[in-house]
Amino acid sequence: MSSMNQIEEEIISDFELFDSWEEKYHYIIELGQKLAPLDEKYKIDEYKIKGCQSSVWLNGEERNGKIYFSADSDSTFVKGEIALLMMVLSGQTPESILDAKLEFIDALGLRQHIAVTRANGLSAMIKQMKTYALAISSASK
């Protein structure tokens, strides 16, 4: 597994190919449509992220010291955003997830297109992923 920085760099250079909001939108929708489905048993309130304008369900599981996320949303675009986050964070160690600065999000030039509530949604997702990392790393100590 490549390092988080490497993955972030790759995503940034992918986005550099797009020169319009339309192209970025289509790319993110495509990511959302390809996101592996979340097991229905996780689509309950316990896994729901509050603070998102649309519903998001997120689960994180530990395997061999790494955390793997799966998620779903009623919005395909939001699923695409989760997919981006998962590319970087899924399969990493709890420590590196906790340390992640995720500076690539700003580099993608997405924030300007995402209404305040949307940006909050993204922050809520990141916070939830870090909460999983924290819970798993403290459980293993």
Interacting residues toward other proteins by CB under 8 A: 20-22, 25-26, 29, 33, 53-54, 74-78, 113
Catalytic hit among 52, 84, 88, 108: 52
Token couple for 115: 């209404």
Q: Which residues pair with 136 in a beta bridge?
A: none
Q: Confirm whether 52 is a catalytic residue.
A: yes
* Whole-angstrom distance, CA of residue 67 vs CA of residue 138: 13
Smallest gap from residue 122 Cβ to other proteins (A): 13
In the bound state with other proteins, the residue whose beta carbon lies nearer, of 45 and 141, is: 45
Smallest gap from residue 134 Cβ to other proteins (A): 30
In the bound state with other proteins, the residue whose beta carbon lies nearer, of 7 and 110, is: 110
Q: How many CB atoms neighbour CB 73 within 10 A?
A: 23
* Whole-angstrom distance, CA of residue 56 vs CA of residue 95: 24
